[in-house]
Copies of this chain bind each other. A is one copy, B any other.
C-alpha cells in the first residue's frame, strides 16, 4: 500500500537522518512509521524490492510469480517526500563516526541507524550443504529452486525412456518448520499438476518427497496436536516424514544421516534454519545472541550504542526472562515499528519504552486446502477453515493492493483447478543460447 503522508514542504536537509539497512518486513515497518514525521529517512537495500517471504515457497513451486511476492521499495514510499531509497550494498558500519560505508566506497552519514538486515540460510556445518542444498530465504533462492525442480522433471521424462532407476525423482526437504512443511506439501502438488496438466509422461509412483528433521515432531513451535495433524496431512498427500534424523553430509545426488543411511535424490531443499550473523555488515561488533543475532536492549538498541538499533531477524529481540522472540514476520513488523517510535522519542528527548511482542498466533499451510493455525491461549484451527484463515491473512498483509489482487486471482485459479501456475524455467544466466 502506498503511503500518503501529510505533505512535507519544509527543508528536509536540516532534519535528523535515520538510515535503515534492509527493506524487509522490519525495515519497511520502521520507515512507514517515520514517513510522515520530522526526520529524513534513507532505506538502503541491495535489492530494489521488498520480498513477502512467507510466500516464497509458492514461487519455488511455480504457484506464484516473482512479481506476486515482490514489491519495489520506491513504489511503497513513492509519495513520502521524506523517505529515500538507495539501491546499494552496505559493506560496513563505522559507528564511531556515524557512517555507513557502501561497497563502492561512498559514505552515508546518519543520526540514527536501524539494522534490519534479516538473516541468511544457516547450514550448521553440514558437509556439502552450502554447495549442494537449495535454501529458500530470498527471491533468488526461490527462482533457483523452481528452475531446478522443473528441470529435474523434464530430465526425468526423457530418462524414463531409457529405463533408468526411479531414484532420480526423490526430493529431500530438510527442516520440519513452517517452510519445510509448506514446501514439501506444495512440491507434491507441483508434481501432480505437472503430470496431469502438462502431460508429463511420468509414473506418479516414481516421485518421492521426503521431509526430514532432527526433532521428534514437525512444527516444534506449535502445540503437539498441530504437529500430529501436519504429519498426518502431509503423509496423506504422499510426503514421507522422517523425524529424529540428523543430516551429516550432502552431495550433488545424495544426503547422508548420522546413522550411516543415505538417500539418493535429485535435489535437497534446505529449510533447516537461518543465521543473522552472515547478513550483518562488517564491523557490527556487538554482542551476539542465538543464531548470530545481535543482542539488543529492551528498547532495541545495540548494547553498546545510543543511536544504532537492530530489529527483525537480525536482532535477538527480548521476549521475557532470558528468552528471545522467534524469527517471524510479525516480530519483524512489530519490532520495526517500535524502534521507529523510540527513535522519535530520543529525538524529542523523551524516555523510551521496552518492546513487548504481541503474539497473535502462528500458522502454516500444508498443501492445498489445509493449514494449521495456533492462536493465543492454545486455540488450534485446522483443515479448510485454517487454510482460509491463512489465505485471508496473507492476502491482507501483502504489500500493495495490486499484488493482493494478482495473488488472489492466481490462487482462485489454482483452487478451481484451471491449468494453474506459470511453470516457466527462466534461466538465471543463459546457459543455452
| A432 contacts the other chain (CB 8 A) | yes
Contacts of A158 in B (CB 8 A): 86, 88, 106
Minimum CB–CB distance for A380 against chain B, Å: 36
| A429 contacts the other chain (CB 8 A) | yes
Copies in the complex: 2
Q: Which of A74, A150, A409 has the most CB atoms of chain B within a 10 A radius of its CB?
A: A74
Interface size class of A (residues with CB under 8 A): 35 or more
Contacts of A133 in B (CB 8 A): none
What string of 1s and 0s marks CB contacts (under 8 Å) between A242-259 and chain B?
000000000000000000
Minimum CB–CB distance for A411 against chain B, Å: 12
> Is A72 a contact of B2 with CB atoms below 8 Å?
no
User: Once bound together, how far apart are the Cα atoms of A422 and B75, in whole Å?
Assistant: 9
User: Once bound together, how far apart are the Cα atoms of A197 and B85, in whole Å?
Assistant: 13
| A303 contacts the other chain (CB 8 A) | no
Q: Which of A46, A86, A139 has the most CB atoms of chain B within a 10 A radius of its CB?
A: A46
Closest to A51 in B: B424
Minimum CB–CB distance for A76 against chain B, Å: 9
User: Once bound together, how far apart are the Cα atoms of A252 and B335, in whole Å?
Assistant: 45
User: Once bound together, how far apart are the Cα atoms of A428 and B430, in whole Å?
Assistant: 9
> Is A48 a contact of B89 with CB atoms below 8 Å?
no
Minimum CB–CB distance for A397 against chain B, Å: 18
User: Once bound together, how far apart are the Cα atoms of A393 and B328, in whole Å?
Assistant: 46
Minimum CB–CB distance for A169 against chain B, Å: 16
User: Once bound together, how far apart are the Cα atoms of A70 and B405, in whole Å?
Assistant: 20
> Is B402 a contact of A418 with CB atoms below 8 Å?
yes
> Is A67 a contact of B424 with CB atoms below 8 Å?
yes
Stretch at the interface among A198-206, A221-229, A281-289: A198-206
User: Once bound together, how far apart are the Cα atoms of A71 and B62, in whole Å?
Assistant: 12
User: Once bound together, how far apart are the Cα atoms of A325 and B333, in whole Å?
Assistant: 59
Partner of A200, one of B67, B74, B81, B151: B74
Minimum CB–CB distance for A8 against chain B, Å: 12
Query: With contacts A78-B199, A151-B87 known, is A47 near B409, CB below 8 A?
Result: no
Contacts of A2 in B (CB 8 A): 419
User: Once bound together, how far apart are the Cα atoms of A150 and B48, in whole Å?
Assistant: 9
Partner of A77, one of B71, B106, B199, B402: B199
User: Once bound together, how far apart are the Cα atoms of A418 and B427, in whole Å?
Assistant: 31
Closest to A106 in B: B158
What string of 1s and 0s marks CB contacts (under 8 Å) between A47-79 and chain B?
111000000000000000111001110110111
Closest to A196 in B: B78
> Is A48 a contact of B424 with CB atoms below 8 Å?
yes
> Is A424 a contact of B72 with CB atoms below 8 Å?
yes
| A34 contacts the other chain (CB 8 A) | no
User: Once bound together, how far apart are the Cα atoms of A49 and B46, in whole Å?
Assistant: 30
24 chain-A/chain-B pairs, Cβ below 8 angstroms: A2-B419, A46-B432, A48-B154, A49-B426, A65-B65, A65-B67, A66-B426, A67-B67, A72-B198, A74-B198, A75-B198, A78-B198, A80-B199, A81-B199, A83-B199, A84-B201, A87-B154, A88-B158, A103-B432, A140-B427, A402-B413, A405-B409, A409-B409, A428-B428
